[in-house]
Structure 1
Amino acid sequence: MIPETITSPFQVDEKGYYGQFGGAYIPELLYPNIAELAENYLRYIQSPDFQEEFNNLLRDYVGRPTPLYFASRLSEKYNTRVYLKREDLCHTGAHKINNTIGQILLAKRLGKRKIVAETGAGQHGVATATVCALMGLDCIVYMGAVDIERQAPNVARMRMLGAEVRAAMSGSRTLKDATNEAMRHWINNPTDTHYIIGSVVGPHPYPDMVARFQSVISTEIRRQLAEKTGSELPDYVLACVGGGSNAAGAFYHFMDEPSVKLIALEAAGKGVNSGHSAATTALGKPGILHGSKSLLMQSPDGQVIEPYSISAGLDYPGIGPLHAHLFTTGRATFVPVTDEEAMEAGLLCSRLEGIIPAIETAHALAYLEKLNAAPDETVIICLSGRGDKDLQTYINWFGDRLKK
């Protein structure tokens, strides 16, 4: 169920802002498209026929609801109750499909026949290629040349699904640059193309729209936790944050529950102050990137600083405006996690629970070492994706340790 519009300090306002963050800072050529979306998206997605088609596809095609799994061995190790929301069990292997299903249904209603998308880790690209194949729409996915190399399995999946994968060769040749290229493509093809943004970034209404499609995660968590424990409310919800779509989905129905602590884990890379990091809240300041005002890493003269993370999906110099608002209001705590901490957490989860997590998700798992939750407290971790796509990175990192 996609949530109705509600009054909350953490929901977008009528101008497309979360507090001081958000808006639509876009080229003139895109105004008709953005205006059409902003004026109609709620009417479309809250209509009974949309909701029925969306929910049927989530159930029968995506495989929802995903399990809320009690991780007994992680719970024993950290002496608390750890539950994993298994978004890795969605069709295509990550939460991204929730949003692409919603946006492809919206694109159909807008009369668009071509789709463009950006991707970092490749999961959003795969999810977009998947729904385009499902609906018979043309699909172009922009991906940084560096990410094409380190996420080769997902590139092959996109091409097998019929998508054209185009390399972004500028800048750091990662997610930021793929987003730049995708937006340029949309500017040049505004009438017949819909841009499926994969995270809670971009001009309004994208951050709100993506968060609503992903809010199915927290809807299910509340219901499932009540069935397992008698209470809908955990003590903690943890999720990794790049742009922040899985975190937005996991946090959505807890933002107005002050007893629930929301913790977002950012990619510190080689260290927050190493010059090789993507820890936006630690290093960023307000600015405009990819069509909205948010927090982003930038030089004193306003140039975007190239981010770094071993995780392609967190290798982004900003966060979505909702997360910037959650950070500045103190509603959510944002914590940097290094490559080393994330990789060790990924290996530990694999060996304790038999679940190989995406490296993005491993950043959230790593925080269990520092959380110090009480034995009677409940910790939910959004396990946003599976680690198949990252096996080569794991192999390269651990080397001989994987031969033992």
Structure 2
Amino acid sequence: MIQKHAQMPDKDGFFGEYGGQIIPPPLIEIMNQINDAYDEVSQSESFQKELQQLNADYVGRPSPIYFAKRLSDKIGGARIFLKREDLNHTGAHKINHCIGEALLAKYMGKTKVLAETGAGQHGVALATACALVGIDCEIHMGEIDIEKEHPNVTKMKILGCKLVSVSRGTRTLKDAVDSAFEAYIKDPVNFFYAIGSVVGPHPFPKIVRDFQSIVGREARAQFLAKEGELPGTLIACVGGGSNAMGLFTAFLDDEDVQMIGVEPAGRGLDTADHAATLTLGSKGALHGFKCYNLQDEEGNPLPVYSIASGLDYPGVGPQHCHLKDIKRVCYEAIDDKECLDAFMQLSRLEGIIPALESAHAVAHAMKIAKAMSADETILVNLSGRGDKDADFVANYLSL
């Protein structure tokens, strides 16, 4: 089925009024070359066959759908299901687009892949993919995140990537993006910038979405086979927005399916310590594209915060901005306390330790399920596992 939403972005990289290429002319030429190469491999039978084989035999796809019965019984109301992206090789959804980007970089003859990472999941997944295809990898990560996400830092080093510690600014994801992009523009002809979400200049919001859309395609078929109908509600956390677009894309034309993206309210929406871009942001430009972002009166990005390192980004993917404006997706916010409660409840009721990012989505599912009927269903994209967060949470909660 050809979906109308899948025809976006337009030829200039816009989803409605968001997206585009707000970058210097020489980089526009480079980005257009990446777009042309991506369009070529999208039609290449050999490339798609290799990607499908790696998804099956290396990543471990399809990831299962699991009915969280004990959690559902305790909350009451709707039945909560989980799309288990946490069971992928490397422990999160990030591997879906990282393998695609690494293969694309190799296809284009690039010599090095650069990227940013927040929680470290994109960094680990990209280092893994680069080791797999045999190409150099360099990951930029904020000092705060390096200290907080030490297990993923160790994995990246073992996998052979060069890890660059970013000490400026907030020392978190936004500054890691800046640092990685500055390194990239030193030699964009030979380097490939593997953006870690559905953000950045065109064509990356499209490329990452397309590689991640396997999540929703699988989920749609699996849920129909399991339940005989589509899920009533889809829920996914949103920082940049890749796991959410991965789940949502296959369902965008199913008007009876409600979709909810969950942002980090951090220490509260009435404080400065949050990263609720779509909830409280305004239209502007960031990192080469137009989007909602959290910015000051001069248009400079504000410092942002989330207990989940992968969500503390002041912007959001352009397609999410468009989906908000047309009211196809509803965006809500969950604070740190609710996130930690969901983290612990899922761990102790189902034996599944989620990433803090994913726990935001679980928390919102728990919040709304109790007001729904027992014949209604919620499908949560459990985008990552919590190995990286276990020590931090244990210390935070004095377990």
Could you say which TM-score interval applies, normalised by the shorter chain?
over 0.9
Task: Look up the match of 2:328.
Answer: 331
8 Å CA contact 2:21–2:288 kept in 1: the answer is yes
Aligned to 1:124: 122
Q: Give the aligned partner of residue 32 of structure 2.
A: 35
| Structure 2 counterpart SS, 1:336 | strand
Shift in Å at residue 251 of structure 1?
Answer: 0.4
1:225 corresponds to: 223
The residue that corresponds to 1:300 in the other structure is 297
After TM superposition, give the deviation of residue 88 of structure 1 in Å: 0.3
The equivalent of 1:239 in structure 2 is 236
- Report whether the alignment pairs 1:68 with 2:100: no
Code of the aligned partner of 1:335 = E
Equivalent in the alignment of 1:254: 251
Q: Secondary structure at the match of 1:365?
A: helix
Give 2:211's aligned residue: 213
CA–CA separation in structure 1 for the residues paired with 2:74 and 2:253: 31
d(CA) in 2 for partners of 1:10 and 1:381?
Answer: 25
Corresponding residue pairs, total: 396
Higher mean displacement: 166-175 or 6-15:
6-15
- 2: CA distance between counterparts of 1:384 and 1:10? 25
TM-score (norm 1): 0.96
Determine helix, strand or coil for the equivalent of 1:293.
Answer: strand
Confirm or deny: 8 A CA contact 1:10 1:18 kept in the other structure: no
Question: Match of 1:91, as an amino acid?
Answer: H
5+ residue gaps in structure 1?
none
Range moving further from structure 2, 357-366 or 41-50: 41-50
| Counterpart-to-counterpart distance in 1, 2:5 and 2:278 | 23
SS class of match (1:24): coil
- Residue pairs, 1:179-218, within 5 angstroms: 179-218=177-216
Cα distance in structure 2, aligned partners of 1:265 and 1:10:
25
Where do residues 108-119 of structure 1 align in structure 2 (5 Å cutoff)? 108-119=106-117
Q: Identical aligned pairs, as a percentage?
A: 48
Measured against aligned partners, the alpha-carbon deviations of 1:309-342 in whole angstroms (never above 9, x if no partner) come to 0110001111100111111111111101101110
1-structure distance, mates of 2:338, 2:332: 12
Aligned to 1:154: 152
How do 1:5-404 residues align onto structure 2 when only pairs under 5 Å count? 6-8=3-5, 11-78=8-75, 79-231=77-229, 233-371=230-368, 372-399=371-398, 402=399
Look up the SS of the partner of 1:101 in the other structure. Answer: helix
Tell me the alpha carbon deviations over residues 192-219 of structure 1, each in whole angstroms, 9 at most, x when there is no partner.
Answer: 1111111000000100110000000001
What secondary structure, in the 3-state scheme, does the structure 1 residue paired with 2:5 have? Answer: coil
Judge conservation of contact 2:365–2:380 (CA < 8 Å) in 1: no
Supply the distance in 2 between the matched residues of 1:149 and 1:140 (Cα, whole angstroms): 18
Question: How far apart are the structure 1 equivalents of 2:7 and 2:177?
Answer: 26
User: Are the equivalent residues in 1 in contact too, given 2:37–2:108 (CA < 8 A)?
Assistant: no
Contact 1:121 1:151 (8 Å CA) reproduced: yes
Q: 1:10 to 1:262 in 2, by over 3 A?
A: farther
| Whole-angstrom CA distance in 2 between matches of 1:237 and 1:352 | 21
Task: For residue 130 of structure 1, give the secondary structure of its aligned residue in structure 2.
Answer: helix
TM-superposed CA distance for 1:49, in Å, is 1.0
CA distance in 2, matches of 1:294, 1:10: 19
For residues 160-209 of structure 1, the C-alpha deviation after alignment (integer angstroms, 9 at most, x for no partner) is: 00001101112111111101111111111111111111100000010011
SS in 2 for 1:200: coil
In structure 1, how many angstroms separate the alpha carbons of the residues matched to 2:5 and 2:128?
A: 34
Q: How many angstroms apart in 2 are the aligned matches of 1:192 and 1:28?
A: 17
TM-score, length basis structure 2: 0.97
Deviation for aligned residue 1:10? 7.4
Please say if residues 117 and 196 of structure 1, whose CA atoms lie closer than 8 Å, have aligned partners that are also in contact.
yes
1:10–1:322 contact (8 Å) kept in structure 2:
no
CA distance in 2 between partners of 1:207 and 1:30 (Å): 16
Alpha-carbon displacement from aligned partner over 1:31-50 (angstroms, at most 9, x marks no partner):
23201012331221232111
Query: Could you tell me which amino acid in structure 2 is paired with residue 97 of structure 1?
Result: I
Cα distance between partner residues in 1 of 2:6 and 2:51: 27
The whole-number CA distance in structure 1 between the counterparts of 2:114 and 2:207 is: 17
1:71-117 alpha-carbon deviations (Å, 9 max, x no partner) = 11122123221110000000000000000011111111111121101
